[in-house]
Amino acid sequence: MVPIRPSEITPEHVYLNRRKFMAGAGALAGAVALAACGPSLPTTGEGATAAEAAPEAAAAASAVPLEDLPPALAHAEPFASQQTDELGDPLNAYDEITHYNNYYEFTTDKQGVARLAEKFHSRPWTVKVGGLVNNPKTYDVDDLLRKFPQEERIYRLRCVEAWSMVIPWVGFPLAELLKEVEPKSEARFVRFRSIFRPDEMPGQQARWLEWPYTEGLRLDEAMHPLTILATGMYGKLLVNANGAPLRLVVPWKYGFKSIKAIVEIDLVEKMPVSTWMAAAPNEYGFYANVNPNVDHSRWSQATERRVGELGRRETLMFNGYEEEVAHLYDGMDLRANF
């Protein structure tokens, strides 16, 4: 295992002392929210097109060649800076994480995704960020790697199917990207869309789900410091089976909220209808918060199976991030807003 220098990763207190981290991050979130919803700042204007915004991205792209990956990703072997999460739970192995996936764009077979995704082309890749923003932009994904400092975030992932993992993601806060495009005051939600490429993603040839995959967050959820856009894990770029080159990670929500292979991010006024809401609205709500007290319509959510472990363990409210995110839902009926 290659040792990692402190300068290459998220500051130690971020993952070793989450309480301390969140105290600072909460203040940051407040500042970010004010910036996002406050009066308009100098911008390129609503009419600025993605093409007009692209030169800035192109300039950033020329600064550093892709071969010089950000420090948090530039490692020869998959590794993480820690062996456990902040609760003391061991990380799942790299092979477990990359070979056991729900990724219905390829197949419903969790252990078949990696093979089917091998030939998927995740470069070149651009992400269009627009909608109710003052400064729409189109980013090359490699620009994002260079532009935003890449951090390691060791998060628990809880699937709605009641299996779970602990994953050392690499990525950057979604809030940093949203600040750049300057959401307008009427923006309330963020809608994400994945790529539609049925010739490379055989699962998209099936019609039992609407494609492209669509997901959404409330704006304050999207701006929360725990919400990241992941570009890698274990000090490596994301592999195709895990949503390369860019996926959403919201650790207090069920895994299906973490849309993969993102190509569009739009700020909108009305709550988006996500793919699973459209498919089965009685089973998959918009919020999808991990909640052991609200069962899925066909199974209990009280316990979960950690991949690689025998037996089951109790599921934690908000996947163990209750202290950080419960206030986002003050006054809400979490049974009605599941």
- Binding-site members for Mo-molybdopterin are 101, 104-105, 159, 194, 242, 247, 258-260
DSSP code at position 222:
H
Give the position of tokens 């299996």. Answer: 163
Question: Helix, strand, coil % (nearest 5) of the chain?
Answer: 30, 20, 50
Burial of 257 (0-12, 13-18, 19+ CB in 10 A): buried
Please tell me whether residue 54 adopts helix, strand or coil conformation. helix
Contact of 80 with 170, CB cutoff 8 Å: no
The CA distance from 325 to 337, in Å, is: 15
Contact of 36 with 219, CB cutoff 8 Å: yes
Backbone φ and ψ of 257, nearest 5°: -75, -20
| Per-residue tokens: 80 | 């993480």
Residue 159 amino acid letter: C
Using alpha carbons, select from 286, 260, 264, 29 the residue that is nearest to residue 126.
264
Please tell me whether residue 51 adopts helix, strand or coil conformation. helix
Give the position of tokens 């997901």. Answer: 215
Residues making up the binding site: 101, 104-105, 159, 194, 242, 247, 258-260
Report the chain's C-alpha Rg in angstroms: 19
Contacts of 132 (CB under 8 A, 6+ apart): 183, 184, 186, 187, 266, 267, 268, 269
Q: Is the dihedral of CA 147, 152, 158, 163 positive or negative?
A: positive
Please tell me whether residue 177 adopts helix, strand or coil conformation. helix
Peptide bond into 212 cis (omega under 30): yes
